A and B are shown apart, each in its own frame.
Chain A
Amino acid sequence: MHVVWTGERVRLRPVASAAEYTETDNQLMELPNDYWGPHWRPLDERQQEYEGTGVIDPGWYSIYAIERLDTGELIGLEEHGPIRPGRLRTWLGTHLLGPHQRQGFGIEAKQLMLCALFENYPLELVYAITTSNHRPSRRGLERSGFYLEGRKRGMWIADGLRVDEVFYAITREQWEQLPIRKLVKRGAALSAASTGASDG
């Protein structure tokens, strides 16, 4: 299967190195998220995780780098949950660095991840979880094609408040209708030398 998925504004690709993974993850975890709160995992644990699998491990979970096409910057991480025999659903999650949020990059990253998941695995449904008061995330999921599946009441404490966890989902049939299916490019672009093209 391909591991590089390109849309109009971003590309998903494997994380290039343990350093790239830990540095990006550090930046994402540096400040407590207004909605999910503080989150931290020791550096050693994340390095071992990368060295073991390159953080692409369908039986457990996988993480891809989100790269902007206009600048080539790594702007966040896109992840998905386990793919298991008999299980027809999994989850995805998007983590964007602050300066790149709320510009639509996360929407395309999610849609590219949906292509990777639905095209390669016998899944019927992909879901995502956010908190009920996280309006940017909810709006992003809705614009990505997800619908509100339901909620778990009072599941999360955010900044002293008990809020609901809300569940969004998209079915295979709904994904098939998304425009991203016609736009997505699969696989890495090969260099000119690899394709035999001449410079002149």
Chain B
Amino acid sequence: MDSVAVEKEKGFAEGEHVVLRPVLEDDLRELAQLMAENPYEHEPTPWTYQRLKKKFEDKDQPGLWERENKVYSVVRKSGGLIGFLKEAAERGDMYWCILHLGESLPDRDALGLDLVATYLAYQQRWGKPRRISFDLLLIEEQKVQWLEGAGFERELVFERSVLYRGEPVAVGYYTWIADWALARRAERVLAPGEDRLRGRE
């Protein structure tokens, strides 16, 4: 390979191995496959290129980049789409996400750890996130490790929630909550005389 010709990917967030950036039209075919491959999606699956392209070309909110729902392409720094991260924002400081990296990637663990850490750092650098939560199937052990490695904790589990390879499996919610938000929650709920709902708990 001609090293001079390799153009590094640029994006909103750069980690050690990966870059997160908005979806480009050229990503769509591979992205549809990656989305269909992901065992847990919020929307009906499988995704098809045609359905995704139609969404990408939406007149009001094109580019899979809506006001509250955004899709990031995950690419290697050296180039090449390897996954995606979907983010649904709520009230400007809470984010509901799913993520996926190609199952056949030989260095998937290193990329996954880097992806989660990079996304968290990106959110903290440019905003003030209160909570970030990822949904996944508990059988996706690699993803669980990536999230736990970045400080996410298992918050909620729904057993027997999704059919996967013919078996009912559990969905887990892994969450990161900002220290300041946890501290404020304790203060606000427990401060004596502060709230008229106190005592109903």
Contacts from A to B (Cβ < 8 Å): 34-35, 84-89, 124-125, 127, 132-135, 149-155, 158-163, 167, 169, 171
Contacts and interface: CB of A to CB of B under 8 A. Distances in A.
Contact residue range for chain B?
Answer: 20 to 34
B155 A158 contact: no
Contacts of A169: 158
Q: Which secondary structure dominates chain A's binding surface?
A: strand
B185 A150 contact: no
A125 B181 contact: no
A89 B161 CA distance: 5
Nearest to A87: B162
B16 interface: no
A167 B156 contact: yes
A160 B195 contact: yes
Grouping DSSP codes into helix (H, G, I), strand (E, B) and loop, the B interface class, with mixed when no group exceeds half, is strand
A171 B170 CA distance: 13
A132 B133 CA distance: 19
Contact of A89 (B156, B158, B164, B196): B158
A6 B155 CA distance: 37
B177 A125 contact: no
Contacts of A160: 188, 195
B177 to A, nearest CB: 6
Interface string B143-162: 00000000000011111111
Contact of B168 (A124, A161, A162): A124
